[in-house]
Structure 1
């Protein structure tokens, strides 16, 4: 309860005025600002306001800036909250399924609840931690959504979600003993948990909660083993700006048992077709690096089929082709050189070409990019990308550069008008 007192002080007129005053305070100026403000305000309130200002600045990377300036955060809640673009995508999918009410279990500071409400979905937001629940309630009010969001402080395992159109569960995926996140607590703990039964609450409980509603979305770690995904669940991996953010197990969709990779912004979605692994072939003129969501979803074969390409090695998720094709599902590079791994040869080649800006990518190599960069000491006006990988089982260096954007396929020509001029 002690944590609640400083937070409640921020909700008072004095606290809100202080938040406005400290907005944009540079870290180097915090001590001087705090010293000045403590002449007129309590030290606890000043510390809470400056801490909240720092959290709001950090939250702007995840939330819309105008929202972050008005919302309230806890350190753990901000770190574990869903990026707005991802939460909006999920909310739109639920709304398209006909969902008009959702039980948001383990709601944290309310980021997903806000997205649901803005999609026109009524929300029951549940969190066990008193401070986290208060923050979620304050955020709903700050954004004018408290009429659509009911925040309840409770253990999610004791909440009956059967009266709601859908269930959304975002369990804690960090450990840490007593410091770990309890069911719905929003508190950070230790390291990441990779076993879904180690989530809090565990995946088995979340599946039971999903079965009690017509539709459900269960947020899981992107590295969830495919073999533990239950039959009948649609599995979706989501990336934003090229970074994999999460995986979601969907129930109540029209594609049970399917797999998809969704890339934001867009969204662009690649659907699994159950294709066999692509053939292995020699390195062509172009190398494609599939988006992380495509790789996590095991849809490299589907991406390769779109590109007319094959793999450079049966164990490496790089696709190669002789033709440059436009695709949102992979980044393309034009390959100029293929060499056996040899630092001296690479250093000589880079020096000969005046490469001073070197991007190092690796897949299937134990060499660290920074270590290689120190050894070759690039210098010059030009840029290059080197891939440390395996080709047909052999350690290999592929040198190239990002390929120019391929032109999209031309639109079909319109059908000729009838000879009599009718349409």
Structure 2
């Protein structure tokens, strides 16, 4: 989105049309609006925005239908459910005024404002800041401005939330920046700021762990099995005694596994009756050892993030599988074994083996009416194919 398209959207006519358009049927809506005599530019802006609202419902629920988005801003925006947890940290720490530096379209500022925390929202991109101003217009104690984290005065601010830009450019095509020194603001700037005031920093879940300061609480967050972010929290925003956290959010609730540091590794053990695949947040937080203790489990093989146990224990921190058979690991033998069992639809999970599941599935050429799941991994250091099933819910 550019400034001209945004200007077309921010008119009474466009906003009225936007509320009437079904974003799930863009072609039909373009034809309908054109027949009604609306200009091509206006129609394009309204229908594109309606389609973004449809996509945004996965992150914002019904609130998406009252917001504006840019494509890049929506992609990078914090899910509202996660943003609410961010906001709760600032409220619980007694911080009444927060600077959101790199606010994007305003998702975290929205969550803060909704619990009566005053926000100074700043973004370096003029169009993005204008969209954030629209999304935050219902909150009189929240302001939005164009600027950079490095140059924004922080007088009267109790804490800072940072979401460093990790891509080049604004709304046009961009590329990912891999060096934290090139981010806006840089990681060094964020950490220096954290030495003098409460700071939260949103980062990608794959950040080099060697860059995490000892003073920070590092929390990895997954939503419905998808690892979405890693947050670093400093000062009163960090919880006492917690330096590693895996937060797992699903449609049925939230669960958290925490530790004062990376949990000690557990040894491998003979394959039991059940296989556990830890959630990505648990793996990144290096809390597999803590999870293994809860499950009375061991590793299937050194450095392979699968656990095995003789018993089934329900946990939100891992997917459980009942091991049915140990099949031949070679491709031709596996193909023969699956055909003998009438498997025509196959889910392939793998860890510790260099294979592309989609390519392998085609090569297996399966025919049959049964569906099955196979786990390709190493057990006690050797390649194995495990035929498994998900246990029925308790």
Contact 2:205–2:220, Cα closer than 8 Å, also in 1: yes
**For structure 2, which runs of at least 5 residues remain unmatched after alignment?**
none
> Where in structure 2 are the equivalents of 1:197-208 lying within 5 Å?
197-208=181-192
Secondary structure of 1:385's aligned partner: strand
TM-score of the two chains, using structure 1 as the length reference: 0.87
246-255 or 14-23: which moved more?
Answer: 14-23
Partners of 2:313 and 2:30 lie apart in 1 by 55
Query: Could you tell me which of 80, 96, 102 is aligned with 2:98?
Result: 102
Q: 1:140 offset after TM fit, Å?
A: 1.1
> Cα gap change, 1:127/1:237 in structure 2, threshold over 3 Å: closer, same or farther?
same
Secondary structure of 1:267's aligned partner: strand
Q: Which residue of 2 aligns with 1:63?
A: 60
Q: Which residue of 1 aligns with 2:312?
A: 324
Query: Could you tell me which of 237, 245, 248 is aligned with 1:260?
Result: 245
Partners of 2:323 and 2:172 lie apart in 1 by 44
TM-superposition CA deviations, 1:193-252 (whole Å, max 9, x none): 343333221111112233342x22101110111111012000000001111000000012
TM-superposition CA deviations, 1:261-304 (whole Å, max 9, x none): 00113321101254321111121110000000000111111111
Query: Could you tell me which of 173, 176, 183 is aligned with 2:166?
Result: 173
Q: Which residue of 2 aligns with 1:75?
A: 71
Contact 1:194–1:223, Cα closer than 8 Å, also in 2: no
Q: How many residues align?
A: 389
> Cα gap change, 1:192/1:363 in structure 2, threshold over 3 Å: closer, same or farther?
farther
Q: Which residue of 2 aligns with 1:411?
A: none
TM-score of the two chains, using structure 2 as the length reference: 0.93
Tell which structure's C-alpha radius of gyration is larger: 1
Partners of 1:25 and 1:267 lie apart in 2 by 30
Given the alignment of the two structures, is residue 285 of structure 1 paired with residue 273 of structure 2, yes or no?
yes
Q: Which residue of 2 aligns with 1:33?
A: 32
> Cα gap change, 1:31/1:386 in structure 2, threshold over 3 Å: closer, same or farther?
same
> Cα gap change, 1:404/1:22 in structure 2, threshold over 3 Å: closer, same or farther?
closer
Q: Which residue of 2 aligns with 1:335?
A: 323
Q: 1:343 offset after TM fit, Å?
A: 1.7
Given the alignment of the two structures, is residue 53 of structure 1 paired with residue 50 of structure 2, yes or no?
yes
**For structure 1, which runs of at least 5 residues remain unmatched after alignment?**
175-179, 407-423
Q: 1:24 offset after TM fit, Å?
A: 3.5
TM-superposition CA deviations, 1:326-368 (whole Å, max 9, x none): 1111000001122342122222222222223311011111111
Contact 2:23–2:53, Cα closer than 8 Å, also in 1: no
Query: Could you tell me which of 120, 124, 130 is aligned with 1:128?
Result: 124
Partners of 2:31 and 2:229 lie apart in 1 by 41
Partners of 1:84 and 1:254 lie apart in 2 by 22
Q: Which residue of 2 aligns with 1:271?
A: 258
Q: Which residue of 2 aligns with 1:237?
A: 220
280-289 or 351-360: which moved more?
Answer: 351-360
> Cα gap change, 1:326/1:282 in structure 2, threshold over 3 Å: closer, same or farther?
same
Partners of 2:212 and 2:172 lie apart in 1 by 25
Contact 2:345–2:369, Cα closer than 8 Å, also in 1: yes
Q: Which residue of 2 aligns with 1:224?
A: 207
Q: 1:94 offset after TM fit, Å?
A: 2.3
Q: Which residue of 1 aligns with 2:13?
A: 14
